[in-house]
Structure 1
Amino acid sequence: MTASSESHWFKSSYSGGSGTECVECAYTDGGTLIRDSKRVDGPLVRVRSGAWRTFVQTLARGTLT
């Protein structure tokens, strides 16, 4: 899978400030793409909208174990 050049990537607010632990996300029609910001041409993880929403809500509640 490759990222569209039109994708708007943003860094996760949970990424480390040292530049060594950066995760970027981009929203698509079907969900969210996730990549390592140091490897922009590297592999991507695609997560469907419902799964991403559940994941983010779980993080916000602090109930991820």
Structure 2
Amino acid sequence: MTVIFIDSRISNQLQWQDFCHELCQPLLHTGDQFNIPPLFREYQEFKVNNFMCHLCMPTFMQD
């Protein structure tokens, strides 16, 4: 089971971005990021941020 905590003090747009970012973590990655080399961690974060950007984009902008 995965739990995502979102800070209610930030704007709705940032909450949505945080949710999409954190949603991708368990979908694409397994294990603990603290036990991997820094460059591989950076690569994983790049992939997660890319996923987040695509998921957060409004559908009318996707063509």
- When normalised by structure 2's length, the TM-score is 0.30
Identify the structure with the greater strand proportion. 1
Larger Rg: 2
Identify the structure with the greater helix proportion. 2
- When normalised by structure 1's length, the TM-score is 0.29
